[in-house]
Chain A
Amino acid sequence: MLRKLRSASPDILSTSVAFTVEIFLIVLFLFDKLDDDMNFDDFSSMKKKKKKKKKKGFEDGQENTEEGTKEAVENNDENGVKEDQIDDDGTDFSLPMKKKKKRRPQAKENEIEPDEQEKEGSQPDYADREYTYEELLTRAFKTMEAKNPNVVAGEKRKFIMRPPQVFKIGTKKTSFANFGDICKILHRQPKHLLAYLLAELGTSGSIDSNNQLIIKGRFQQKQIESVLRRYIKEYVTCHTCRSPDTILQKETRLYFLQCETCGSRCSVASIKSGFQAFTGRRAALKSKQQ
């Protein structure tokens, strides 16, 4: 490809174009990575989603940016409008052009020469655009934090959880050391959380004398964490206002989640372990039946 290009157009120009395009792509890539990192910093799941969507909007061009900004309006309630306008202007400048740039070098490189010249003509704009993209990103985050700190900080404060301490016991069992503490933090009965964990993990287990949970099978802290997160989402946070001030009541065989903050009340799914496949030794099963 490169050789063809060289033969077609003057040496220095074509190579420099290719080079700048490459650098540009790398820079883009780095930015995306940065973005991801930032997302990981936020703990509450809601924020994650919204930010991600916004990010996509930044990359995908006009239609998506519109969607993204709509969401942003919802996010920021009253003062989002100004920001959005700024954002829109910025994206109109930078993004669709970028997209084209990205695709062109791959698709049409060896087809037409005039295309190359076009590129050269618009080359000086690269620096400006790159700058605005960076600027926009930091600016958007800053304004979001500055204008509604209670949304960012408030949600975070509520969802701080102590991480589960998970240790291996031998090769076949896992201990969940601060099980009792976590039940206390969540204000749920150990029995309920135990039932959920065992049903989700598809194993058996028990609570020992110093309130730690012993589960059969090998599990890592990461895995237990994800299950706990799901438990909190389903059985602890209010489904309407997402506050964790809730009470779980049992009435007529159904569990109801009563929110202390907004007073809403809704039923939650009962814990079912469902189908359990037989994984032991077949011979043992046979001897039992006889």
Chain B
Amino acid sequence: MSVQNFNSADPFAVDKSEQEGLIHIRIQQRNGRKTLTTVQGISDKYDKKKLVKYFKKNFSCNGTVVDHAEHGEVIQLQGDQRQCIHDFLIEIDLATKNQVKVHGF
């Protein structure tokens, strides 16, 4: 066990998980089998309206940008789009794998 410690990652790296750059993708249940996906933490450099436009077209769902006092601008999409968004964000290099956090079941 003690030898394995040497192989492990930098112990201080854990602190970075709480850094600001994380993008959270969450899911919420609505009535029936309907769900809602929220994307929180996309940096201000990106135009969320354009992103939503793209999402709406490509994932064929509706969506909006909601301005929240605490969490900033949050993207809301209808249905469970977690995997799509996750793949998209990584594909266009908007975020790395470690920066995207998918929540929910």
Contact = CB atoms under 8 A, between A and B. Distances in A.
A267 B15 contact: yes
A279 B14 contact: no
A146 interface: no
Given A201-B105, A240-B8, A266-B11, A279 B40 contact: no
Interface of A: 74, 199-203, 217-219, 223-224, 226-227, 239-241, 243, 261-262, 264, 266-270, 274-277, 279
Contacts of A279: 28, 30-31, 36
A241 B4 CA distance: 7
B104 A201 contact: yes
Contacts of B74: 275, 277
A226 B105 contact: yes
Given A240-B8, A243-B1, A262-B5, A202 B40 contact: no
Given A223-B105, A240-B8, A266-B14, A274 B2 contact: no
B5 A224 contact: no
For B1, B18, B33, B76, the residue with the greatest tally of chain A CB atoms inside 10 Å of its CB is B1
Given A201-B104, A262-B1, A274-B40, A240 B15 contact: no
A267 to B, nearest CB: 6
Contact of B11 (A218, A226, A264, A270): A264
Contact of B104 (A200, A262, A266, A270): A200
Given A202-B104, A227-B105, A241-B1, A275 B18 contact: no
Contacts of B4: 240-241, 262
A219 B27 CA distance: 13
B18 A270 contact: yes
B5 A202 contact: no
B105 A264 contact: no
B38 interface: yes
Interface string B30-46: 11010010101000000
B104 A277 contact: no
B98 interface: no
B66 interface: yes
Nearest to B70: A275
13 contacts: A200-B104, A218-B29, A239-B14, A240-B4, A241-B4, A241-B8, A261-B1, A264-B5, A266-B11, A266-B14, A267-B14, A274-B26, A274-B71
A239 B74 CA distance: 31
Given A267-B14, A274-B24, 19 more contacts: A201-B29, A201-B104, A202-B103, A217-B29, A218-B29, A219-B105, A224-B105, A227-B104, A241-B1, A241-B5, A264-B11, A274-B26, A274-B71, A275-B26, A275-B71, A277-B28, A277-B66, A277-B74, A279-B30
For A203, A261, A269, the residue with the greatest tally of chain B CB atoms inside 10 Å of its CB is A269
